[in-house]
Chain A
C-alpha cells in the first residue's frame, strides 16, 4: 500500500541577491494512514519550512528539490490552481497562533462554509449543516448560535478548536499541525491534544505534528523526526527515540528536559542545556551540522556528507555512529555516549 505522504530528499533553499539560505537539507520521511508523525527541533531547524513545502506555501524566493508525494501525486512544482484543489481539501493545516489565524472581519460561519462550498461544491445550506456538525465534533457547545459570531468573541482554546474544525471540514487524508498548542496555556494544550488524538482516530487521517515540546511528542505521536539545522538527525518510533536514542543531538535534547526528581545527591544540579548555538544556515559547515556542539565529535564529522544509517526497520540516524561505538572518540572526555551505547 502506498503511504499517504512520502517525502524524499526534500531540500529547500532561499535565495536573496547573493545570499543563499539552506533551510532544509535532503529530508525524507513517509507517513501511513492513521499515523501521527512528530517533528521536533529548535527554532530555525526547518520544521515549518518542510511542511510549508508540502502545502506549497513557501515564500516566492524558495527553491525546492526532491519529491513530495501525496499517494501517487507529486506535489512539488504543482501550480497554484492544482494545489488549491488539494489544500484545505485533501491536506489541511492548522497554525501556531489561533488568536490571529482566523480572519477577524468575517464570521466563523462565513469562514467555514466557504471551504466546503469551494471544495465540495455543495450549497450554502448543506455547508452550514456540515460546519455545525464539525463544530459539535470539536466540542464547541451551542454551535448554532456560536457559528454566527466573530473570532474575537472566542477564547484562544476555542479559536484553535474552530481552526481544527475548519481544517477537518473536507475530511483530509493528512492534517498538518504547526505547533498547534504553543500559544495556549497548559490545560487548554492538553485538551487540544486529546481532541486531535480523538479526531485522528475518528477520521483515520495521517497527522504531522510540529512542536518544540518532547512531552507533546511522547503523548500523541507514533513516530518522531528530530530536526537540526535543516537535517533530520534521527527518526524512529517513539520507543526508538525516547528509550534508545542514538544521535548525540537527540540524547542532548532529551537530557535538557527539566526533571522534577534530582539525580542522586546532586541537589544543586542546573538545568542541562546544549552549549553553543545552531550553525548559520548561510554558511553551513562541511560535514555534520551539529559538529560544533557535539560532545562526541570526530575528525571525520568535519568532512563530506554524513550518510543516514538504518538501525532496524524505521530507526534512522544521520551520524557517524561507528566512531562512538568503536570508542574512537573516547579521548574526548565529554562524550558520555560511548560508554552508554551498545549497538
Chain B
C-alpha cells in the first residue's frame, strides 16, 4: 500500500517537471516581453527592468532560477502587479483568487458526484422507463450547452426576470451569490458523471456474477448494494481525476460570466499582459491539482478493486 503510493508520487515528479518546462517554453515563446506596452520605455530603463527580473539571462538559466524558486515554494514576482508576489496574488489573505475558484469547483464537485451517481444508477436500474428517458434527454441538452451560453440565460431567468437570486458578484462568499455559479457548473458536469454511472450500472447488472447472485436467491437490495455497487463505481471514480481538472477550467470560465474575483480574471489578465510568472503559477497549480487528483483516484482503485493489490 505505502510502496504503491510512493511509486505513484515518484512517477508524478517527472510529469510535473515536463509540464513546467512545456509551459515555461510556451510562455517565453510569445513575442515581446511583459514591459512592452502602450507607453514605451527608454532602452536604458527597459534594460534595467529586464535585468531586475532576470529576463536578460539565457532561457535555460531563467528556467533553472524558476525551478529553484519553485522548490522553495515561491512562484516568483508578478511583472504587472508591482511589488506583489505570485503567491500573494493566487493565495490572497482575504477571500479571493484561488480560494474563490477552489470553493466554486469543490462545491460543484460535491454536488455533481453524488447526484450524478444516484441519478445515473437509478436511471440505469429503471432502464427505458420515463425517468430514464427524461434524464438522458436533459443530460444531452445540458452537456451540449456551454457555460458561456447557459450562464447569461440562467442569469436572465433567475436574476433578471424572476429576481430570485443576485446576478453576479461574490459578496465575501455569500451563499446566495454562489447558488447560480455553482448550479451552472454542476449542470455542466453532471451529465458526464450521470451517463457513465448509468452505463456502468447497466453493464454490471448484465454481468454473469449478478446472474449468479440472482440464482442464489439474494434479494434485490443485497444484489445492488453488496454485489453491484462497487464494480459500478469504478468507471465513475476513474472519471473523477481528469474531471476535476475540467471543473477547474469550467470554474474559471464561470467566474468570468458571474464576475467573481477568482483565478479566472487573474488568468485572462495574466495572459494579455504577458505576466509570465502569473501564467506559469496558475498553470502549475492547476496541473499539480490534476496530478494529485489522479493519484487519489489510483489510491481509491486500490481499495475498490482487490485485483490491483497483487
Task: Mark A residues whose CB is within 8 Å of B.
Answer: 55, 57, 80-81, 83-89, 92-93, 95, 97, 100-107, 114-115, 118-119, 150, 152, 163, 166
Is the CB of B7 closer than 8 A to any CB of chain A? no
Cβ B216 vs Cβ A87 within 8 A: yes
- What is the chain A residue whose CB lies nearest that of B228? A103
> Chain B contacts of A55 at CB under 8 A?
215
Contacts of A84 in B (CB 8 A): 217-219
Contact indicator B215/A87 (Cβ below 8 Å) = yes
Q: For A103, list chain B residues within 8 Å (CB).
A: 209, 212-213, 227
Binding site for A on B (CB under 8 A): 207-209, 211-220, 222, 226-227, 230-231, 304-307
Is the Cβ of A101 less than 8 Å from the Cβ of B211? yes
Contact of A57 among B215, B219, B222, B230 (CB under 8 A): B215
- The 7 A-B pairs with the shortest beta carbon distances in the complex, nearest first, are A87-B217, A88-B217, A88-B216, A100-B208, A103-B209, A84-B217, A93-B215
Docked CA distance A92–B214 (Å):
10
Residues of A near B218 (CB, < 8 A) are 84, 88, 114, 118
How many pairs of A and B residues are in contact by the CB < 8 Å rule? 75
User: Within 8 Å CB of A93, what residues of B?
Assistant: 215
Can you show 13 pairs from A to B with CB atoms below 8 A apart? A57-B211, A81-B219, A86-B217, A87-B216, A87-B217, A88-B216, A88-B218, A95-B208, A102-B209, A103-B213, A105-B230, A105-B305, A118-B219
Report the bound CA distance from A84 to B214 in whole Å.
8
Are B211 and A105 in touch, CB under 8 angstroms?
Answer: no
C-alpha spacing A234/B45, complex, angstroms: 103
A88 to B211, CA, bound (A): 12
Could you tell me if A101 and B217 are in contact, using CB atoms closer than 8 angstroms? no
Given contacts A80-B220, A105-B231, contact A150 B307 (CB under 8 A): yes
A83 to chain B: which residues have CB within 8 Å?
A: 217
What's the Cα separation between A87 and B305 when bound, in Å? 28
Query: Contact check: which of A86, A89, A102, A107 meets B212 at CB < 8 Å?
Result: A102
Are B217's CB and A114's CB within 8 A?
no
Complex formed: what's the CA distance from A166 to B213 in Å?
11
Measured in the bound complex, the distance between the Cα atoms of B213 and A84 in whole Å is: 11
Give chain A nearest CB distance to B21 CB in angstroms: 40
